[in-house]
A and B are shown apart, each in its own frame.
Chain A
């Protein structure tokens, strides 16, 4: 079955970029513009993996992560953020990529986590 990746980022250029990148590599995607909207999208779409930005205007990435963790979800998260050196903000994240990232590295990590 096709794995679904949820992309959470407030920059539309980046969500479109990741969306195209993942789709080109055979994944399904869904998008949320910020941490607040992310919960609705997450519950609705039940993704297999999340790429998460840290700094967003309404609700920051770490808070969203804590919320889904509290609900008992263990969906793997890959952080993609411009804030370097903030790996500690989501200690359970599978990986941390600083912007600008290398697409092949992100893809390799996504595939490894999803076991594809």
Chain B
């Protein structure tokens, strides 16, 4: 690009010489005969370089220099000085002139001054360019950084695991959204406090181990969510060292494995019960062997009573096998409910009729606290399903009473039916041996039985399933040695 150059001198001869020389050198040359005209032309044409005489009538070179530098600091000004202007020349440099040349103008000196001016212009342009690029670069990097930060925060927050960053006192320094959703977002809380409702740290803690050795550790723990639900968590930890390599924080990542845990429990229960079923079958096979022996030897001896006994045993065992198979089939099938309104009075009557002889034989008093025919009402239910459930609980109650060792204790079973605005409550309470806390938790689980080889572990599991099918609830309350009370709550609205 051709540089624009303004020559300001009151001597026309000099102006003309410079114009010709500089035009030859490739400049676009403008000329002005005094400072005022020069300044006007500067404003109009914005030259790159101004070459001005220092002494001129009216506005002199110094004044022009000052004005130009004030208005356009990027315009380079070269002063042309006469003999004895040395001080002025120095002043002009201080004011911002790039160089000065003295009259008469020597071509080489002019070239050096112009080169210096051009270098300065070039440097400034480069600098400006560089600054511009740097600004763009910074803007771009800032944008990327912000994006990246946003992305990492998003990854942290939306991670499908529960993530916390803990300090060495187990204080929660940071946590992700999932964690906050389920455990709250109170500042200055401790993990053992939020997840375990403890006031002191847990005895075994993978975070503690990671602080100690810097390695990743794992653990399984039951934790309580802020809504009170207890979930099983798989916990993994990793150390977050600072720049000096010192572990200041540990990350704890938890996965909810409640479902897997339940499956494991079920599998374990299933395994247990397969052995319990095979144990039961062994007993029944032995019984059948016995029946077979009695029948065969009875036939040989023509002993009718022996045959009859043997046949009785065979029949009993066939019935046991049938019941076991039906129980297992029932459990393995998804049965749909056949709902119909059932009179509570009739339901209880039928239940009592079925169990009465067993209850009496065991010397237990049955107390009924159920609606009289006059106060009878109907409940929508699948009678077969719910009858089975109540029967299982009653059988359980009888077994609990029979197990009582104290002969003097008066054994009772109380059946109570009552209504609330939304529910019908069936309560079956016995004063038998009771259940301790550990058994109360297990009692509804599949195949759990505390009756040795007498129980299949299916009865109460099926009872709970039956009640749940009716969208009802079942729970058990008990004090060992005092009582056991089962409550079935059914919704009144038809399901």
Contact = CB atoms under 8 A, between A and B. Distances in A.
A11 B293 contact: no
A101 B285 CA distance: 9
> Most A CB atoms within 10 A — which of B289, B313, B454?
B289
Given A16-B313, A17-B294, A98-B282, A11 B452 contact: no
B279 A82 contact: yes
A16 B309 contact: yes
B313 A17 contact: yes
A100 B286 CA distance: 5
B271 interface: no
> Most B CB atoms within 10 A — which of A18, A20, A103?
A20
B220 interface: no
Interface in A17-44: 17-18, 20-21, 24
B287 A17 contact: yes
Interface residues of A, number: 20
A56 B452 contact: yes
Contacts of B288: 100
> Most A CB atoms within 10 A — which of B289, B290, B293?
B290
A55 interface: yes
Contacts of A57: 403, 451-452, 454
B57 to A, nearest CB: 128
A63 to B, nearest CB: 14
Given A99-B282, A100-B282, A17 B453 contact: no
B291 interface: yes
Nearest to B283: A82
Contacts of B283: 11, 14, 82, 99
Contacts of B494: none
Contact of B297 (A11, A20, A56): A20
Given A20-B306, A83-B279, A100 B453 contact: no
B317 interface: yes
B307 to A, nearest CB: 12
B316 interface: yes
Contacts of A16: 290, 294, 309, 313
A24 B454 CA distance: 29
Contact of B290 (A14, A24, A83): A14
A13 interface: yes
A55 B452 CA distance: 7
Nearest to B298: A20
B451 A24 contact: no
Interface string B84-115: 00000000000000000000000000000000
A20 B309 CA distance: 11
A18 B317 CA distance: 16
B293 A21 contact: yes
Given A55-B453, A57-B454, A13 B313 contact: yes
Contacts of B454: 10, 57
Contacts of B285: 99-100
Contacts of A83: 279
A54 B282 CA distance: 14
A11 B279 contact: no
Nearest to B301: A24
Contacts of A14: 283, 286-287, 290
A98 B291 CA distance: 18
A103 B282 contact: no
A17 B293 contact: yes
B297 A100 contact: no
A17 B289 contact: yes
Contacts of B309: 16
Contacts of B287: 11, 13-14, 17
A17 B314 CA distance: 11
A8 B207 CA distance: 56
> Most B CB atoms within 10 A — which of A24, A57, A98?
A57
14 contacts: A10-B452, A11-B283, A13-B287, A13-B313, A14-B286, A14-B287, A14-B290, A16-B290, A17-B293, A55-B452, A55-B453, A57-B452, A82-B282, A82-B453
Given A17-B287, A20-B294, A24-B297, 9 more contacts: A13-B286, A13-B291, A14-B286, A16-B294, A20-B290, A20-B306, A55-B453, A56-B452, A57-B403
Which 9 residue pairs are nearest across A and B when measured between Cβ atoms? A17-B290, A13-B287, A100-B285, A82-B282, A99-B286, A100-B286, A13-B313, A99-B282, A82-B279
